[in-house]
Amino acid sequence: MSNIAIRVESLSKKYFIGAKQEAYETLRDGVAEALGAPFRRIIKLLRGQTMESEDPTETIWALTDLSFEVRHGEVIGVIGRNGAGKSTLLKILSRITEPTGGYADIYGRVGSLLEVGTGFHAELTGRENIYLNGAILGMKKTEIDRKFDEIVAFSGIDKFIDTPVKRYSSGMYLRLAFAVAAHLEPEVLIVDEVLAVGDADFQKKCLAKMGDVAKEGRTVLLVSHNMRAITQLCERSLWLEDGRLKLDGPSSTVVSAYLSTGTQNLSFWVNPSYSPGLSEFQVKQVRLLSLHNQLVSDISFHSAFKMELTYEAMQPIKGLALICRLTDSQGTVVWTSWDTDGDGWNGTHVTPAGSYLSTCKLPARLLRPGRYFISIGACSSKERFDYHENVLAFDISEFGYPLNSGRMGVVTPILEWNTRQLQSEERVA
């Protein structure tokens, strides 16, 4: 018996953008289209237009010639920026959409969690949906009965298990959907970034469960922007870029390469088309500077430096807050800072329309030698505006680092210690 759980060969998927969607086409429409097509082609040629311009719709290749194999029992991470093709790949593997070219074979029973409530019927209760999902997976009622109490306990919604799921909040949907996907023992488990919408405690619970699933020898395909989770759970990762396989290898190597890409410049200018639809707020530029206002990327352990963020408020914004997040080369979040920290922010202040320059100072003698990445974003009291992940990279130099390189810790601050000799009357018995 083959040890292959998933085989993807030359997989491609094309989508049409702006195609006119008709509910149906009459015979008269079809005949008129067929008779008129040759004349339209002649007119295009007389106008100097190419035949490729005949179709007014645009196309985009979400996946292009993608090939890889996953063995039974492997836990594979799938990473890449938004629009890289990750979710399209999972939808094809879950048989939700058909590929344009190539093929994807899965050997074994598949459970997938691609979005909140995938596979749930809104009119059925939570209890009924557990049995429905189990039946879809090909499980017998006795198998579902054996796992039922464990599923309900994990989801934490036992009080509402006999309530129609259309009345569930998104959080309740998520809890039950993940519990069903993880506990009904599929041989191949496919999970998208849906875990990101849960609260912190539930995310930890889900990641721990996925670790247990992996130890049981089941195959897991996990899409996530949480690089820490990827490196912890997955020995191997696939990095997708523009629908193609950019890198396939050990997770630590792939994650490090992924985080390093596109962050070689000393400053980052935001292309307005990168964040469409932002009519209220937009980041313009991010820079790393020394305290003497020089662009820097290689920084001494003993030197403080600063991040400079230029942005524009196109109209007055209530409760505007900026975020700066620092991660290391393995995707571990070192810290997160808001510009509203410590000033009694309550979301009521209104930022007038205009251009702004905000500076965040990063202290010296804190970060251990290595590569770090800065992500920036903003939100208001009502919505999230803009978020740019790993826009700048910098290195803390090993040269002049006074501590043992093997010292444990995400950060290695040199803290202030004071020691004095106790007098006889102060000694502890």
Residue predicted with more confidence, 242 or 51: 242
What is the predicted pLDDT for the residue at 54? 47
Average pLDDT rounded to a whole number, residues 373-393: 84
28 lies in a domain?
Answer: yes
**How far apart (Å, rounded) are the C-alpha atoms in residues 241 and 64?**
10
Average pLDDT rounded to a whole number, residues 363-379: 90
423 lies in a domain?
Answer: no
Over 60: is that where the pLDDT of 258 sits? yes
One domain for residues 35 and 74: no
What is the predicted pLDDT for the residue at 191? 84
Contact present, 350 and 316 (Cβ < 8 Å): yes
List of E strands, 31-147: 58-71, 75-79, 101-106, 110-113
420 lies in a domain?
Answer: no
What is the predicted pLDDT for the residue at 275? 47
Average pLDDT rounded to a whole number, residues 185-199: 72
Please state which of the ranges 103-117, 218-232, 285-299, 389-403 shows the lowest mean pLDDT.
Answer: 103-117
243 lies in a domain?
Answer: yes
Number of domains in the chain: 3
What is the predicted pLDDT for the residue at 94? 84
385 lies in a domain?
Answer: yes
Contact present, 385 and 270 (Cβ < 8 Å): no
pTM above 0.75, yes or no: no
One domain for residues 99 and 240: yes
List of E strands, 266-353: 267-269, 281-290, 298-299, 305-313, 317-318, 321-328, 333-338, 350-351
One domain for residues 202 and 289: no
Among the candidates 27, 44, 60, a domain finishes at: 60
One domain for residues 226 and 160: yes
Domain that residue 214 falls in: 68-260
413 lies in a domain?
Answer: no
Kindly state the tokens that stand for 224: 């996530």
Residue 412: name the closest of 364, 373, 376 by CA. 364
One domain for residues 100 and 238: yes
218 lies in a domain?
Answer: yes
What is the predicted pLDDT for the residue at 276? 44
One domain for residues 299 and 221: no
One domain for residues 244 and 339: no
- Name residue, tokens 């049981």: 216
One domain for residues 83 and 41: no
316 lies in a domain?
Answer: yes
Among the candidates 217, 237, 260, a domain finishes at: 260
One domain for residues 191 and 321: no
One domain for residues 48 and 195: no
Q: Tell me, what CATH number does 276's domain have?
A: 2.70.50.60
Amino acid identity of residue 388, one-letter, is H
One domain for residues 198 and 325: no
β-bridge mates for residue 219, sequence order: 188
Over 70: is that where the pLDDT of 231 sits? yes
**How far apart (Å, rounded) are the C-alpha atoms in residues 153 and 149?**
6
Among the candidates 215, 236, 260, a domain finishes at: 260
Residue predicted with more confidence, 23 or 154: 154
Residue predicted with more confidence, 153 or 185: 153
User: How many residues belong to the chain?
Assistant: 429
One domain for residues 288 and 186: no
Q: Tell me, what CATH number does 161's domain have?
A: 3.40.50.300
